[in-house]
Structure 1
């Protein structure tokens, strides 16, 4: 009897995901809660554990394929039935089946019932999921799912009369699963000459590590496999810049191979239209921003602030404590204090009941530009943190921002957003409120400007704050009160002591 493992509900209304990599192959023996597939939803990349134990019978879907909630991911057969079928076909009695990535003692003791697990870390039984095999799957060594099946022994060919050697066949592209066999047959090493780079040609037998789903998707949309490029990252990792360099090379006349003999002109891609699908994270962001613009009657106010004293306070903290505090962390502390004085800005609107829901906890969202696009990870319970804990929480989010690998729980529940778009080199922005929140505060770049101090012209470090708020929640007086409070704290950080 076989059981079907369906794509579970990934939460937050997400109904589809993209297969990133299979962690098992048909014929592997697995245990309950063992991770079997890595998928990318619109918010994060997660490993899904199997709710069943047994022998993997079939896999449904290839890496890069979009699947929807409720579709079959794989089927698991009862191990006893699988052993009986193998015994009928085998000449010698086979050894005990090996569980991929799991000790033999654990495999033999594994139950065969369902665990009800949805995501890694959730289930009704003690997890027996092995450690994530990043090095085995993403950095060069093929997983079991990528390895070709061992060929059955064939009878030796009948002797024939000697013939002249056939001319060598032209090179052909092979799939990733076929590359090891193709390399072995050709007698050439697994890695070709280093002279072949991502800016020159695509190597049909190369297998470079590719981690980022964005890189894989970008290459796939342009008609090639990113793993066929020579990566410029660590351990040959293919980066987005490698794919973009290859695309730029293809769009230049120098990309035409020298051996091409056709006289037809090569069309330039400079004027060609490109269709970019709105999917994954971009689809979720588009829907949320569209809802915000459609439902929220927003208003924007802004203020130029002298931040010279803020930098002086940061240096004083370093001298007094030996610890570094970022300017963003200090402003975040001022924002949390301001929301305690103006709590109506820490709200959302319930359109169904026509009520303003004022939240008791401050869950501070920090807008972050990642390789997957704009994301807003949330610091839950920011109101209960001191400046040091808030600084550490922001630093943890910044460390995860480059690849955007945030847990789904870190991207939900925000009540107010802080957006430091000054890091992008701009002074200000009329930002879009992160629906269903009621306000967002933007921080522009901090640069030296002429400023009047005590009726004299001086050079000061100035920043522009821009505040966008939901006019249904409050009027301009409340929003202006909050903005000027944060500005006073920036201009004179000691003033915050009066409110602690």
Structure 2
């Protein structure tokens, strides 16, 4: 009986350390081929399908949909084609924590026997021959204890799997842990409706079906030492999902993971490291609105959006005020002390905020300073579609040098935005609305928007920030002359 090959979750790009398992594309017992997609996972950057470097029979799926998996940890075990299939209950023993790094290193060597398929930082290079797995011998006393399952339990487990299997789809129960939990608590999986994809029965479904244990009375004492009467069964049930601080019922809980987890970490780091300041100005955008209307009338199919024009003005402004197109890098000197330097860039990668179903994403237009308004418009539209489909690459999401945020689409006028670390500035554009405005000494109704610039005070002072903001505002108010000079 051949030992299954264990495929470890690869690094999916730019040193990401974890990924959320969205759903399995295969089930235990399925025959798979090399490069066949086996799972769909979501990282902080994008959603991708992971192909298998092995052909054979799926022996074990290491994880459940919704679970966060660490890079370098087991993802799937595959029994090689032509070998006897190893039962799930007899899956390989998980190595102790101190040998996991060695297993991950061995995995990188095993990849060399793959097909050549490449997936964002991970691939099977297509080496010749068969890579063999070597492992240092372990004494019996050092081996981790293994829980044994009787043949009767294994047979019952397999019967449950067959009863809940949906032909052509994922098994309604995949995880051996879930099946074992159901068996131990007398839960009939055949009668459960799974809450996962394709009716997949999750651990939470089994837990919900398990009869709750009787409440244990706990004696509570007041400050004077007198016992407080215990809650009745009814009151205990009523307060089980009540927030202790507010006394309000808890309507739901959402795990912070994936894109939301990455955004939270980046914004927290930005606020903790960057001494930011904000300046803003109201701008008469009437001339820009009229210019675009005239262009649209002449060429309805090839007219840039207003954001593309603003993006063009921003890239020109960053050339004039390059301090806002930099990055602060901390380095360690020979004495062990830390020093900082401001790194300037030869070009502008303009990031822009795009709201998606997965959260706020910031793709960047590379070398935006070399593009016209029409070219910027086309690239903004392309990247917006890519991030909403979850197909953006790490390079498209992590290479910006300055960010443009059009929060006017949400119907708001202004916002003191958080800088997208490690950048040093972000410009926000509010909605364009009719407002009273003084023109040549007379009151008139004009199209007015608000620009807000948040900048890192370590790289420049208010004079530079104000100069850049005024440059962009003047270009919006006089777009014809501004574009003629660009």
TM surpasses 0.5:
yes
Q: 1:174 to 1:349 in 2, by over 3 A?
A: farther
In the TM superposition, residue 403 of structure 1 has moved relative to its aligned partner by 5.9
Structure 1 contact 378–413 (Cα < 8 Å) conserved: yes
- The match for 1:280 among 254, 258, 263 is 258
- Which residue does 1:49 correspond to in 2? 51
TM (norm. structure 2) is 0.68
In the TM superposition, residue 82 of structure 1 has moved relative to its aligned partner by 3.7
In the TM superposition, residue 122 of structure 1 has moved relative to its aligned partner by 4.5
Question: What CA deviation, in whole Å up to 9, does each residue of 1:290-319 have, x standing for no partner?
Answer: 211121111111110000111111112212
- The match for 2:420 among 434, 437, 444 is 434
Q: 1:205 to 1:473 in 2, by over 3 A?
A: closer
Q: Distance in 2 between matches of 1:459 and 1:369?
A: 31
In the TM superposition, residue 401 of structure 1 has moved relative to its aligned partner by 5.4
Q: Distance in 1 between matches of 2:315 and 2:395?
A: 21
Q: Note if 1:113 corresponds to 2:113.
A: yes
Q: Note if 1:313 corresponds to 2:299.
A: no
- The match for 1:330 among 292, 295, 309 is 309
SS at match of 1:80: coil
In the TM superposition, residue 426 of structure 1 has moved relative to its aligned partner by 1.6
- Which residue does 2:438 correspond to in 1? 452
SS at match of 2:119: coil
In the TM superposition, residue 472 of structure 1 has moved relative to its aligned partner by 1.4
- Which residue does 1:363 correspond to in 2? 349
Q: 1:362 to 1:206 in 2, by over 3 A?
A: closer
Q: 1:209 to 1:76 in 2, by over 3 A?
A: closer
Consecutive unaligned residues of structure 1, counting only runs of 5 or more, are 87-110, 127-140, 150-171, 183-202, 211-215, 226-262
- Which residue does 1:39 correspond to in 2? 41
SS at match of 1:354: strand
Q: Note if 1:343 corresponds to 2:322.
A: yes
Q: 1:144 to 1:278 in 2, by over 3 A?
A: closer
Question: What CA deviation, in whole Å up to 9, does each residue of 1:231-270 have, x standing for no partner?
Answer: xxxxxxxxxxxxxxxxxxxxxxxxxxxxxxxx96994978
Q: Distance in 2 between matches of 1:298 and 1:148?
A: 51
Structure 2 contact 48–391 (Cα < 8 Å) conserved: no
SS at match of 1:293: helix
Structure 2 contact 169–198 (Cα < 8 Å) conserved: no
Q: Distance in 1 between matches of 2:453 and 2:75?
A: 46
- Which residue does 1:304 correspond to in 2? 282
Q: Note if 1:204 corresponds to 2:193.
A: yes
Structure 1 contact 17–41 (Cα < 8 Å) conserved: yes
Q: Distance in 1 between matches of 2:187 and 2:433?
A: 53
Question: What CA deviation, in whole Å up to 9, does each residue of 1:47-66 have, x standing for no partner?
Answer: 11112233322221121222
In the TM superposition, residue 337 of structure 1 has moved relative to its aligned partner by 1.6
Question: What CA deviation, in whole Å up to 9, does each residue of 1:379-401 have, x standing for no partner?
Answer: 22212222222101111233345
SS at match of 1:423: helix
Structure 1 contact 364–415 (Cα < 8 Å) conserved: yes
| Aligned Cα root-mean-square deviation (Å) | 3.6
- Which residue does 2:340 correspond to in 1? 354
Q: Distance in 2 between matches of 1:46 and 1:400?
A: 13
Structure 2 contact 54–80 (Cα < 8 Å) conserved: no
Q: Distance in 2 between matches of 1:118 and 1:64?
A: 25
SS at match of 2:82: helix
Structure 1 contact 363–415 (Cα < 8 Å) conserved: yes
Q: Distance in 2 between matches of 1:428 and 1:369?
A: 17
- Which residue does 1:395 correspond to in 2? 381
Q: Distance in 2 between matches of 1:124 and 1:17?
A: 22
Q: Distance in 2 between matches of 1:65 and 1:411?
A: 24
SS at match of 1:302: strand
Q: Note if 1:146 corresponds to 2:123.
A: no
Q: How does 1:263-274 map to 2 (within 5 A)?
A: 267=238, 271-273=248-250
In the TM superposition, residue 414 of structure 1 has moved relative to its aligned partner by 0.8
Structure 2 contact 303–374 (Cα < 8 Å) conserved: no
Q: 1:148 to 1:368 in 2, by over 3 A?
A: closer
SS at match of 1:340: helix
Question: What CA deviation, in whole Å up to 9, does each residue of 1:382-432 have, x standing for no partner?
Answer: 122222221011112333455655333321111000011112222111111
Q: Distance in 1 between matches of 2:23 and 2:353?
A: 29
Q: How does 1:370-409 map to 2 (within 5 A)?
A: 370-400=356-386, 402=388, 404-409=390-395
In the TM superposition, residue 321 of structure 1 has moved relative to its aligned partner by 2.7
- Which residue does 1:291 correspond to in 2? 269
Q: Note if 1:72 corresponds to 2:64.
A: no
Q: 1:493 to 1:351 in 2, by over 3 A?
A: same
Larger displacement relative to structure 2 (347-356 or 49-58): 49-58
Q: Distance in 1 between matches of 2:346 and 2:406?
A: 24
SS at match of 2:446: strand
- The match for 1:416 among 402, 410, 424 is 402
In the TM superposition, residue 363 of structure 1 has moved relative to its aligned partner by 1.0
